[in-house]
Amino acid sequence: MPASPKFTGQLKGKKVVIVGGSSGIGFGVAQAAVEEGAHVIVSSSSQEKVDRAIARLNDAEQQYNADASRVSGHTVNLAGPEAEASLTAFFKQVGSFDHLIYTAGDAPKTLPLKDHTFQTISEAGQVRFIGAILAVKTAVYGGHLQEGGSVVITLGAVYHYPVPDWTIVAGYAGGLSAVVRSLAFELSGRNIRVNGVSPGPVKTEMYQEAPEDFLNKLASSVLTGRLAVPADIAATYLGLLKSPSITGEIINDDSGSYAPKQERR
């Protein structure tokens, strides 16, 4: 009798929900999960973005192992006081699932501290911080995320390596690192693992209009000498879904973002 696989096919048939999976890192993770044979559900605040992501994931010329029966998506609003109700409705549409990945984020509120107000500080955390916590709460306590499943939350290398005008964003990212570890402890009784990924600069749609000299400067600031793309980071997310022994950890997949603090030789 032939041996069963130990290292491949671990996500085949699993249901993976990616909040923020219509673009950027989230879409890269969606592509990787489809390749692995998972059932993938993506979300965005825009129905147009959801439809476009689904079409790309189902296009066999762009997507390896494409299968329309394994891909779906829904809208969800993560900003403002209706976020929890929107997430509750979203997860009811999704039903039970195995893994939750949170990559949602709006344009970072990067301002000098002197220009921030209560409103700008509050708005900066609605999607990236509060939305992540509410997504886990509604998925778990709504009875949708199954025991034995996992959560991966996206942070950002900026909380490790200070950047001018990013104080508020860094604060929320650092807060999420504590949230990840606390949730891993709190949800361990349900056999749900919780981890985080802290990316460095990643060339997503957010940088489409950025000047070439800015992108080159950004690339030269990391040890790899190049900007990561979503496909580079996706493997880290999938690795966390697959590994049953990792929980409460933050994985720094940041291209060597600490380089500016070191002497380059």
Q: Which domain holds residue 62?
A: 15-257
- Residue 1 in any domain: the answer is no
The span from the CA of 125 to the CA of 100, in Å, is 20
Q: What is the pLDDT of residue 259?
A: 59
Confidence of residue 264 (pLDDT cuts 50, 70, 90): very low
Dump pLDDT digits (tens) for 33-58. 999 999 999 999 999 999 999 999 99
- Residue 10 in any domain: the answer is no
Which amino acid is it at 104? A
- Residue 186 in any domain: the answer is yes
Q: What is the pLDDT of residue 260?
A: 56
Confidence check: pLDDT of 200 > 90: no
- Residue 6 in any domain: the answer is no
Whichever domain contains 51, its CATH number is 3.40.50.720
- Residue 206 in any domain: the answer is yes
Query: Are the C-beta atoms of 46 and 16 separated by less than 8 Å?
Result: no
Average pLDDT across the chain, whole number: 93
- Residue 3 in any domain: the answer is no
Total count of domains within the chain: 1
Confidence check: pLDDT of 159 > 70: yes
Confidence of residue 265 (pLDDT cuts 50, 70, 90): very low
- Residue 5 in any domain: the answer is no
- Residue 39 in any domain: the answer is yes
Dump pLDDT digits (tens) for 60-119. 999 999 999 999 999 999 999 999 999 999 999 999 999 999 999 888 888 999 999 999
